């Protein structure tokens, strides 16, 4: 059902200006404002504050938003972004944990920076000068569920808020017509909703899943009973009653919040389908993202394009999930397939962001929950095992240096030895780019101040512009 | 420290072996040579990697690159007792005598190296290396328990005579006197009484989570008796709906969930029995102390007192209900994480103390040393969790029907039908077995072939070519078989790891039982499970106990003693915490606002004397929750209106002193139940069990379609299945308590997704239409009368004339889409009813 701004009645404009007033007012409260609403952190007064209103960062941010391209399963670093000439020369050699298996992929120098990138990613290679390869990644656990949850929440042993929830809690969202944290195509296993959950943070900070669990869009966007005009009329009645109640109750900011939330909801009904509708995108754009019937990259291309559209519309944290990276066997064929479905979309996303002047303040992060061994799954098999000792991720945009290779694994690509980055460090760095100090972004729960990085995390200063 | 004569130093070093401000000893040439030749290289080679400043590591808090380092020692104490190898931890560690303390961890030192170090320690550990104390990690426990006891929450509640406010007529009871007195101190007056319609709506929701029926409203309004309100309250307390409302409050605290959550989200087939137990307990007004004792030690009590055995066994589900990381292969980690959940849940729910902060270090704010945490941990380490599930990598797979409580002795041995998965598993196992047999036979044949031929002579020999051919065939097949076995094995393991087939059926419950052997726990240094420190006798929190340590007899875990300690009238917190939780639900905010945290970082009570008064009378009244609630709602304070007053707002904007009633928002359950109830669809009977019972013992994400189906049904929301990560949408949207954590106070947020739900969700549409149909079906009603009734049903009041006229106009001007078969009048009325479900007034209690 189409909803247009014309259907607003005059009194709605009135309300909207009140809304913007409210918004401005709540901006200034900062963290104290947030405390107004819940739990132990609650302030002493009863005043209502929009929990999702924009809040100031701790310092000037380099990035306004994050797009996390999560490659679930553990992409093998030595076949993607961690070039290891010694591995190529030593195929068949026995090492501590098996027999070395050279990469079936060639690496090529790319861009002015000459970064070595696997031939599997010809389109992405064109963006070499924007990429910062993180070759010294390591994480705590080599099992998918634990490592996936750790990558998303910074904790294995406890249920904790996800990175996106922390970001939304820290910064609020710029556009109230859309959720502030969207996760596209999330798996319902491996921690499921915990990976975008808000745990002890209020529920409004949890991620909104789109796709994956069957929902192709946000829930409750469409009214199946009423036409747009009928609904507007009904809403007018509801809002009248709400305002009358507000008059009766004296100072009651919470009711202001309710009134505001209905107007926002009404606008979301129009806005969300509009943002999710890609039919007005140019053929060139669609082609850049690898979108097209029958193309391997069609599905992921659409998701990446969606991510850009969300980013453009003020969504603070966006994750796009791509599974199938658990390459225990058939590595060459399956990696080729994964690359075919993600290479063009990711490259398309980077160029699109750049063309729109958004790459500079959008932090793009690529990677899985861990990596894979340079040793083969078996002496002859065509696959690799899980590896949490060393793996690769990359970042681009959002104040990250491009054309850089940071950190290193040992000569064969097994264990991080230089420029080591633990997932806590990655989280600290992501927050830092958003202008948040990971040691100061805390939430009081069960008597103490919790943070995303617990007692860990160092910002990787070397990779910042 | 003043410099001391050098001669005295060795002796002093022994006396003050934990002090490191000493200067490095002056060594004899011989000592020096021995150290440089035999000790320094050895330490550098084997120890510095993890215990030196240069490496930047002091594992276990220990440095071995300076004399001060080993003198101060690590988390387990000084590493060396000069002169006494047998009393030195270092020597103990290198001699690999204690399984939990073996150093270096990867490989034992050689005998000669051990001998050298032992000799060195016996010599008095002469050490020329200087090093300062500043490099040391922080010292051990500095908590002053006696001083800690002075904190308000750790002192026993005191009896306070109710004050005498100057307004002698307003107060109906002691609660009112305390409230009024503190208002008067600020020159504030209590608000006027709420009107009867408001009051009955308030109390009906507060006690049952449902709206009052129009007849109930009318009868209360028309009841001229001075006991009219009491009549209402007693009716509500006696209603079965009461336990469904107040039981759910407890389930929030008990982090009730019907699946493990986390890495591999498996269903808890029998969690619902605990849910029903909780609801029944509140309905039966089970004394709160009994309720607690059953949950902590019901299994032990059941042995002594077989009456109500079933209830008592089910009650222990409280300790088994936590979220679990089934993918955790490290058993020790799995054990300690589950224990942490038990400690956290027990202490926060009952005592409002955050004891689990002391898992890794002494509590930073409250007088709870790590020692106390492990004293409690021992009790739970001596307790076995019966959740019906195994963690990964344990024999028998995830499904563990033997790890459930069989409630009746005649329970069938797992009456479940054999599932498809189980059939497949069996087939796969047989297949694997066949392959292995064939492989063995081939290998044997191959061996025989080689042997036979060498034994035979001359022309008896089989022609070489034939042998070669046979050999080749065997070898080829063996190679194939190897692959097949590997694949079959892998497939089997994959299948096994996915789950354990169908859900068990039968008379089972989740819960706990005493482990075969009671043990004391050992401190896990910095919470690292493999980093074991000293053993701690089982016990409770020192700050809440007298000097005498509890006695734990023989092989019992100590949960019975724990239960007794928690519910003793000597315990200053248990009663206070519960009355505060009750106050929170009725008055919208606790007297201590941080209902789950009475510690230093929590808030102080706004009315400390009232809190003590309520706590003591709660105990004196045999811990009756119903009487407690009755006393509170019959107070005049509870009956105040929530009307605004500018003058009062100026003095106390947060209404901390309760000059008016606080407005409350309906929680998710009340919202859903109300719509169902008003729409006439609410199924008030209790469902048998939970839909979760039908889910296979497998990751819920793998049977999602089935799991989603389980969410249907018009039962009260408390009976909706609460699978972690799959909480029903309406609950999730309206600030339901996260089921993995203790949550005594739900968040109250206002966000557009809630408005979207109310505007567009088919559930809301259906209930609106249902209500419209009910109104239409009533014979002889005019539209005005229908509107009147709709208002009463949804808002518990009649519309004003203005509202009535507006509603009539709305109905008239409604332009139907006029689709085939549609009923414009019904649609118009449904749209009006939908508006009533959407307005803020419907969701707020004044």
> For the segment A141-166, what is each residue's pLDDT rounded down to a tens digit?
999 999 999 999 999 888 999 999 99
Q: Report the candidate in B613, B572, B621, B611 with the shortest Cα–Cα distance to residue B159.
A: B613
Cα angle B393, B398, B402 (rounded to 5 degrees) comes to 115
Same domain, A261 and A146: no
Contact A265 B814 (CB under 8 A): no
Output the six-digit token pair for A118: 């696997």
Backbone angles phi, psi at A382, to 5 degrees: -110, 70
pLDDT given at position B500: 64
The span from the first CA to the last CA of chain B, in angstroms, equals: 69
What sign does the dihedral A349-A350-A354-A358 (CA atoms) show? positive
Q: Which residues of chain A lie closer than 8 angstroms to B745, CB-CB?
A: 38-39
Across B319-331, b (16+ Cβ under 10 Å) vs e yields bbbbbbbbbbeee
Contact A37 B817 (CB under 8 A): no
Beta strands A65-71 and A317-322 are: parallel
- Which of A157, A242, A447 is opposite residue B601, by nearest beta carbon? A447
- In which region does residue B770 sit, left (phi positive, over 0), alpha (psi from -120 to 50) or beta (all else)? alpha
Identify the residue among A225, A247, A273 best suited for mutation to test binding to B, counting B beta carbons within 10 A and taking the highest: A225
Contact B593 A257 (CB under 8 A): no
Report the distance separating Cα B197 and Cα B800, nearest Å: 14
Alpha-carbon distance A218 to nearest alpha carbon in chain B (angstroms)? 9
Alpha-carbon distance A274 to nearest alpha carbon in chain B (angstroms)? 16
B450: confidence class by pLDDT, cuts 50, 70, 90: confident
| CATH code, domain with A392 | 3.40.720.10
Same domain, A185 and A283: yes
Task: Reply yes or no on whether the pLDDT at B584 is more than 80.
Answer: yes
Q: Tell me the mean pLDDT in the region B730-743.
A: 93
**Mean pLDDT lowest among B8-12, B166-170, B325-329, B689-693:** B8-12
Contacts 24+ apart (CB under 8 A), B41-48: B42/B109, B42/B113, B42/B116, B42/B117, B46/B104, B46/B109, B46/B113, B47/B103, B47/B104
Contact B660, A264 (CB under 8 A): no
Task: Reply yes or no on whether the pLDDT at A13 is more than 50.
Answer: no
Residue of chain B with shortest Cα separation from A178: B752
What sign does the dihedral B776-B780-B785-B790 (CA atoms) show? negative
Q: Which residues of chain B lie closer than 8 angstroms to A388, CB-CB?
A: none
Query: Percent of chain B scored above 90 by pLDDT?
Result: 59
Q: At what angle are helices B752-760 and B824-838 packed, to 10 degrees?
A: 160
Contact A48 B750 (CB under 8 A): yes
How many other CB atoms sit within 10 Å of the CB of residue A38? 21
Backbone angles phi, psi at B562, to 5 degrees: -60, -45
Same domain, A172 and A47: no
Identify the residue among B755, B833, B844 best suited for mutation to test binding to A, counting A beta carbons within 10 A and taking the highest: B755
- In which region does residue A393 sit, left (phi positive, over 0), alpha (psi from -120 to 50) or beta (all else)? beta
Contact B759 A231 (CB under 8 A): yes
DSSP A232-273: HHHHHHHHHHHHHHHHHHSS-HHHHHHHHHHHHHHHHHHHHH
Q: Report the candidate in A141, A71, A165 with the shortest Cα–Cα distance to residue A366.
A: A71
Q: Report the candidate in A302, A430, A414, A315 with the shortest Cα–Cα distance to residue A366.
A: A430
| Residue A85 forms contact with B (CB below 8 Å) | no
Alpha-carbon distance B650 to nearest alpha carbon in chain A (angstroms)? 11
Q: Which residues of chain B lie closer than 8 angstroms to A259, CB-CB?
A: 840
Same domain, A348 and A303: yes
E strand spans, B96-193: none
Q: Tell me the mean pLDDT in the region A359-381.
A: 93
Task: Reply yes or no on whether the pLDDT at B498 is more than 70.
Answer: no
Task: Reply yes or no on whether the pLDDT at B516 is more than 80.
Answer: yes
Same domain, A47 and A108: no
Contact A42 B740 (CB under 8 A): no
pLDDT given at position B3: 41
Q: Tell me the mean pLDDT in the region B574-601.
A: 96
Backbone angles phi, psi at A185, to 5 degrees: 65, 45
**Mean pLDDT lowest among A159-173, B441-455, B820-834:** B441-455
Alpha-carbon distance B588 to nearest alpha carbon in chain A (angstroms)? 11
Between B101 and B606, whose confidence is greater?
Answer: B606
Q: Which residues of chain B lie closer than 8 angstroms to A251, CB-CB?
A: 644, 649, 653
**B412, B416, B421, B427: CA torsion to nearest 10:** 50
What sign does the dihedral A337-A342-A347-A348 (CA atoms) show? positive
Q: Tell me the mean pLDDT in the region B30-54.
A: 83
Alpha-carbon distance A219 to nearest alpha carbon in chain B (angstroms)? 8
Residue of chain B with shortest Cα separation from A329: B487
Task: Reply yes or no on whether the pLDDT at B138 is more than 60.
Answer: no
Same domain, A299 and A359: yes
Backbone angles phi, psi at A72, to 5 degrees: -70, 135
DSSP designation for B771 = H
CB burial of residue A196 (10 Å; 0-12, 13-18, 19+): buried
Beta bridge partners of A65: A362
Same domain, A399 and A457: yes
Q: Report the candidate in B579, B563, B561 with the shortest Cα–Cα distance to residue B315.
A: B563
Alpha-carbon distance B518 to nearest alpha carbon in chain A (angstroms)? 26
Report the distance separating Cα B182 and Cα B655, nearest Å: 12
Contact A237 B810 (CB under 8 A): yes
| ipTM of this complex prediction, to 2 decimal places | 0.79
Contact B835 A250 (CB under 8 A): no
pLDDT given at position B506: 84
pLDDT given at position B105: 80
Contact A191 B725 (CB under 8 A): yes
Length of chain A, please? 465
Contact B838, B759 (CB under 8 A): yes
Domain span including residue A191: 57-219+278-463
3-class DSSP assignment, residue A449? strand
Contact A258 B757 (CB under 8 A): no
3-class DSSP assignment, residue A132? strand
DSSP designation for B192 = P
Contact B750 A50 (CB under 8 A): yes
Mean pLDDT for all residues in chain B: 88
Q: Report the candidate in B820, B794, B823, B821 with the shortest Cα–Cα distance to residue B807.
A: B794
Same domain, A335 and A360: yes
- In which region does residue B725 sit, left (phi positive, over 0), alpha (psi from -120 to 50) or beta (all else)? left
Report the distance separating Cα B416 and Cα B695, nearest Å: 12
Q: Which residues of chain B lie closer than 8 angstroms to A273, CB-CB?
A: none
Between B805 and B392, whose confidence is greater?
Answer: B805
| Residue B462 forms contact with A (CB below 8 Å) | no
pLDDT given at position B59: 75
- Which of B354, B745, B827 is opposite residue A448, by nearest beta carbon? B354
- Name B336's Cβ contacts closer than 8 Å, sequence gap at least 6: B377, B524, B529
Residue of chain B with shortest Cα separation from A267: B752
**Mean pLDDT lowest among A94-98, A455-459, B461-465, B652-656:** B461-465
Q: Which residues of chain A lie closer than 8 angstroms to B835, CB-CB?
A: 234, 237-238, 241
Q: Which residues of chain B lie closer than 8 angstroms to A203, CB-CB?
A: 732-733, 735-736, 738, 747, 749
Contacts 24+ apart (CB under 8 A), B300-308: B300/B514, B300/B556, B300/B557, B300/B559, B300/B560, B301/B560
Same domain, A5 and A77: no
Alpha-carbon distance A203 to nearest alpha carbon in chain B (angstroms)? 6
Contact B326, B264 (CB under 8 A): yes
Q: pTM of the full predicted structure?
A: 0.81
Identify the residue among B255, B749, B834 best suited for mutation to test binding to A, counting A beta carbons within 10 A and taking the highest: B749
Beta strands B51-52 and B57-58 are: antiparallel
Contact A51 B749 (CB under 8 A): yes
3-class DSSP assignment, residue B54? coil
Same domain, A208 and A241: no
- What is the count of structural domains for chain A? 2
| Residue A147 forms contact with B (CB below 8 Å) | no
Same domain, A292 and A396: yes
Contact A37 B747 (CB under 8 A): yes
pLDDT given at position B751: 86
Q: Which residues of chain A lie closer than 8 angstroms to B357, CB-CB?
A: 446-448
Between B428 and B233, whose confidence is greater?
Answer: B233
Distance of CA A132 to the CA centre of its chain: 17
- Which of A46, A203, A260 is opposite residue B747, by nearest beta carbon? A203
Mean pLDDT for all residues in chain A: 87
Query: Percent of chain A scored above 90 by pLDDT?
Result: 72
| Residue A351 forms contact with B (CB below 8 Å) | no
Same domain, A227 and A322: no
Give the DSSP H or E segment for A95: strand A94-95
pLDDT given at position A248: 84
Task: Reply yes or no on whether the pLDDT at B496 is more than 70.
Answer: no
Contact A159 B736 (CB under 8 A): no
Residue of chain A with shortest Cα separation from B829: A234
Between B8 and B548, whose confidence is greater?
Answer: B548
A30: confidence class by pLDDT, cuts 50, 70, 90: very low
């Amino acid at each position: 059902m189409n909803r247009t701004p014309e259907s607003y009645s005059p009194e709605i404009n009135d309300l909207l200006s009140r809304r913007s007033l409210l918004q401005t007012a709540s901006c200034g409260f900062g963290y104290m404002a947030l405390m107004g609403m819940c739990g132990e952190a609650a302030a002493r007064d009863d005043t209502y504050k929009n929990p999702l209103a924009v809040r100031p960062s701790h310092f000037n941010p380099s990035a306004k938003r994050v797009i996390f391209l999560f490659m679930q399963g553990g992409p093998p670093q030595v076949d993607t972004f961690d070039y290891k000439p010694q591995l190529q020369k030593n195929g068949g050699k026995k090492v501590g944990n098996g027999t070395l298996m050279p990469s079936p992929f060639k690496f090529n120098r790319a861009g002015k920076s000459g970064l070595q990138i696997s031939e599997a990613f010809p389109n992405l290679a064109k963006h070499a000068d924007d990429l910062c390869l993180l070759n010294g990644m390591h994480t705590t656990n080599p099992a998918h569920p634990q490592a996936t949850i750790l990558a998303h929440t910074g904790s294995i042993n406890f249920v904790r808020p996800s990175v996106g929830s922390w970001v939304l809690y820290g910064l609020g969202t710029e556009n109230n017509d859309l959720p502030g944290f969207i996760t596209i195509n999330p798996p319902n296993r491996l921690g499921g909703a915990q990976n975008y959950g808000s745990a002890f943070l209020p529920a409004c900070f949890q991620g909104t899943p789109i796709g994956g669990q069957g929902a192709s869009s946000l829930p409750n966007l469409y009214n199946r009973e009423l036409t747009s005009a009928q609904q507007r009329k009904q809403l007018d009645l509801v809002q009248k009653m709400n305002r009358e109640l507000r008059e009766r109750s004296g100072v009651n900011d919470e009711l202001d919040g309710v009134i505001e939330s209905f107007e926002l909801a009404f606008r979301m009904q129009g806005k969300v389908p509009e943002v999710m509708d890609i039919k007005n995108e140019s053929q060139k754009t669609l082609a850049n993202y690898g979108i097209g019937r029958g193309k391997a990259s069609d599905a992921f291309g659409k998701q990446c394009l969606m991510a850009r559209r969300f980013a453009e519309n003020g969504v603070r944290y966006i994750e796009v999930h791509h599974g199938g990276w658990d390459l225990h066997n058939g590595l060459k064929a399956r990696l080729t397939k994964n690359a075919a479905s993600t290479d063009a979309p990711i490259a398309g996303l980077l160029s699109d962001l750049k063309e729109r002047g958004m790459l500079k303040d959008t932090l793009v992060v690529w990677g899985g929950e861990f990596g894979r061994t340079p040793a083969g799954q078996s002496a002859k098999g065509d696959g690799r095992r899980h590896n949490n000792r060393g793996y690769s991720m990359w970042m681009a945009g959002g104040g990250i240096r491009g054309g850089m290779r940071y950190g290193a694994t040992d000569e064969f690509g097994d264990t991080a030895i230089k420029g080591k980055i633990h997932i806590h460090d990655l989280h600290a760095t992501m927050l830092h780019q958003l202008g948040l100090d990971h040691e100061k972004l805390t939430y009081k729960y069960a008597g103490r101040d919790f943070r995303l990085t617990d007692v860990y995390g160092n910002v990787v200063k070397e990779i910042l512009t | 420290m003043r410099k001391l004569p050098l001669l005295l130093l060795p002796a002093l070093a022994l006396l003050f072996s934990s002090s490191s401000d000493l200067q490095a000893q002056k060594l004899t040439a011989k000592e020096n040579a021995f150290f440089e030749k035999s000790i320094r290289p050895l330490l550098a080679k084997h120890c510095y990697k993890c215990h030196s400043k240069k490496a930047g590591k002091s594992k276990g808090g220990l440095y071995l690159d300076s004399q001060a380092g080993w003198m101060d020692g690590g988390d387990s104490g000084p590493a060396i007792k000069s002169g006494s190898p047998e009393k030195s931890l270092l020597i103990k560690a290198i001699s690999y005598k204690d399984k939990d303390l073996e150093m270096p961890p990867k490989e034992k030192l050689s005998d000669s190296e051990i001998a050298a170090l032992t000799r060195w320690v016996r010599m008095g550990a002469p050490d020329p290396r200087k090093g300062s104390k500043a490099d040391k990690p922080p010292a051990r426990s500095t908590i002053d328990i006696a001083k800690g006891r002075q904190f308000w929450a750790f002192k026993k509640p005191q009896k306070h005579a109710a004050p005498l406010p100057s307004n002698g007529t307003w107060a109906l009871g002691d609660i009112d006197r305390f409230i009024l007195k503190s208002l008067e101190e600020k020159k504030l007056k209590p608000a006027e009484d709420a009107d009867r319609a408001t009051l009955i709506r308030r109390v009906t929701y507060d006690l049952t989570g449902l709206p009052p029926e129009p007849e109930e409203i009318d009868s209360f309004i028309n009841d001229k008796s001075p006991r009219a309100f009491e009549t209402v309250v007693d009716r509500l307390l006696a209603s079965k709906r009461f336990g469904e409302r107040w039981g759910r409050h407890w389930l929030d605290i008990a982090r009730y969930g019907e699946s493990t959550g986390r890495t591999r989200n498996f269903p808890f087939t029998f969690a619902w029995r605990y849910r029903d137990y909780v609801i029944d307990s509140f309905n039966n007004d089970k004394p709160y102390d009994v309720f607690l004792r059953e949950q902590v030690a019901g299994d032990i009590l059941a042995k002594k007192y077989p009456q109500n055995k079933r209830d008592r066994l089910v009650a222990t589900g409280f300790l088994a209900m936590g979220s679990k990381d089934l993918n955790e292969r490290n058993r020790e980690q799995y054990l300690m994480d589950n224990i942490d959940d038990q400690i956290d849940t027990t202490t926060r729910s009952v005592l409002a103390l955050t004891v689990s902060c002391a898992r890794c270090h002494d509590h930073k704010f409250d007088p709870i040393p790590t020692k106390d945490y492990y004293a409690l941990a021992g009790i739970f380490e001596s307790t076995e969790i019966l959740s019906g599930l195994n963690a990964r990598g344990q024999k028998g797979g995830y499904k563990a029907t033997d790890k459930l409580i069989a409630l009746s002795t005649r329970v069938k041995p797992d009456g479940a039908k054999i599932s498809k998965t189980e059939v497949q598993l069996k087939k796969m196992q047989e297949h694997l077995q066949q392959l292995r047999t064939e492989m063995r036979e081939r290998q044997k044949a191959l061996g025989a072939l080689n042997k036979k031929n060498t034994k035979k002579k001359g022309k008896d020999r089989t022609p070489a070519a034939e042998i070669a051919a046979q050999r080749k065939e065997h070898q080829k097949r063996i190679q194939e078989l190897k692959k097949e076995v590997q694949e079959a094995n892998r497939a089997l393991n994959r299948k096994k790891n996915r789950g354990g087939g169908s859900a068990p059926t039968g008379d089972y419950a989740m819960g706990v039982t005493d482990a075969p052997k009671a043990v004391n726990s050992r401190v896990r240094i910095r919470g690292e499970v493999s980093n074991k420190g000293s053993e701690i006798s089982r016990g409770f929190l020192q700050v809440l106990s007298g000097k005498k340590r509890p006695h734990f007899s023989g092989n019992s875990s100590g949960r019975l003693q724990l239960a007794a300690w928690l519910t003793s009238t000597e315990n200053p917190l248990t009663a206070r915490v519960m009355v505060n939780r009750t106050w929170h639900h009725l008055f919208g905010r606790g007297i201590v606002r941080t209902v789950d945290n009475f510690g230093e970082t929590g808030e102080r009570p706004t009315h400390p004397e009232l809190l003590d008064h309520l706590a003591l009378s709660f105990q004196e009244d045999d811990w009756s929750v119903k009487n407690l609630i009755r006393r509170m709602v019959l107070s005049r304070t509870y009956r105040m209106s929530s009307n605004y007053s500018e003058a009062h707002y100026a003095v106390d904007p947060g209404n901390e002193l309760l000059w008016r009633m606080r407005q409350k928002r309906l929680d998710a359950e009340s919202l859903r139940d109300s719509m169902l109830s008003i729409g006439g669809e609410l199924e008030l009977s209790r469902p048998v069990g939970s839909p979760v019972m039908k889910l296979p013992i497998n990751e819920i994400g793998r049977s999602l379609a089935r799991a989603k189906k389980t969410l249907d049904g018009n039962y009260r929301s408390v009976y909706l299945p609460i699978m972690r990560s799959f909480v029903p949408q309406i609950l999730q949207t309206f600030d339901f308590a996260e089921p993995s954590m203790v949550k005594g106070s739900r968040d109250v947020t206002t966000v557009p997704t809630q408005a979207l739900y109310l505007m567009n969700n088919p559930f809301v549409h259906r209930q609106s239409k249902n209500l419209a149909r009910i109104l239409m079906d009533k014979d002889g009603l005019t539209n005005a009368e229908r509107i009147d009734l709709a208002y009463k049903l949804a808002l518990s009041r009649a519309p004003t004339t203005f509202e009535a006229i507006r509603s009539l106009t709305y109905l008239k001007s409604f332009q139907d889409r006029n689709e085939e078969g549609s009923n414009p009048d019904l649609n118009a009325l449904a749209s009006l009813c939908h508006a009533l479900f959407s307005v803020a007034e419907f969701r707020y209690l004044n």
